[in-house]
Amino acid sequence: MLGSLARRLRWLGYDAEYRNDLSDGEMIALARREGRVLITRDRGLANRRAWREDGHRLYLAETDLEAQVRAIMAALGPPPGPSRCIVCNGELDPLAPAEAAPLVPPYVAQTQTEFVRCRRCRRVYWPGTHLAGLEAWRP
Ligand SMILES: [Zn+2]
């Protein structure tokens, strides 16, 4: 449900993991272990007693994506770093145009000069008009 929000948060520079395959207890344990704030639209999960005690949870009442982003920025402060991979949340490293050229479609290599590559999934990104300002290509 919050997958598109996770992508937006990554693009903004938040370290945003997204899981929909874990139980509530597993999610809480993972967030604790990694020092994360758990963001949920599940009021029951947000209100679990063990969770409320350490304060690292944020219940999102908003349903609109833009309003959700504003609520998170108000609660957590500005993004801590540069954009992350919107697909896997990996960190992005600059990539020289000559290195990027064989990894992207020819028209992109001819027209773009700025590239970054995900450390985790190896996707290459460049400034674009889709996907909230970035376009991706997985070699
Ligand atoms: Zn990635």
What SS3 state is found at 23?
coil
Distance from Cα 48 to the centre of ligand 1, integer Å: 32
Ligand 1 centre from 44 Cα, in Å? 31
Beta bridge partners of 136: 125
Pairing mode, if any, of strands 38-40 and 57-59? parallel
Question: What's the CA-to-centroid distance between 76 and ligand 1, angstroms?
Answer: 23
- Residue ranges near ligand 1 (ion) with Cβ within 5 Å: 85, 87-88, 90, 118, 120-121
- pLDDT digits over 35-48, tens only? 899 888 888 777 77
| 56-92 pLDDT, tens digit each | 778 888 889 989 999 999 988 999 988 899 899 999 9
Domain segments of the chain: what residues?
3-76, 92-137
Give this prediction's pTM.
0.81
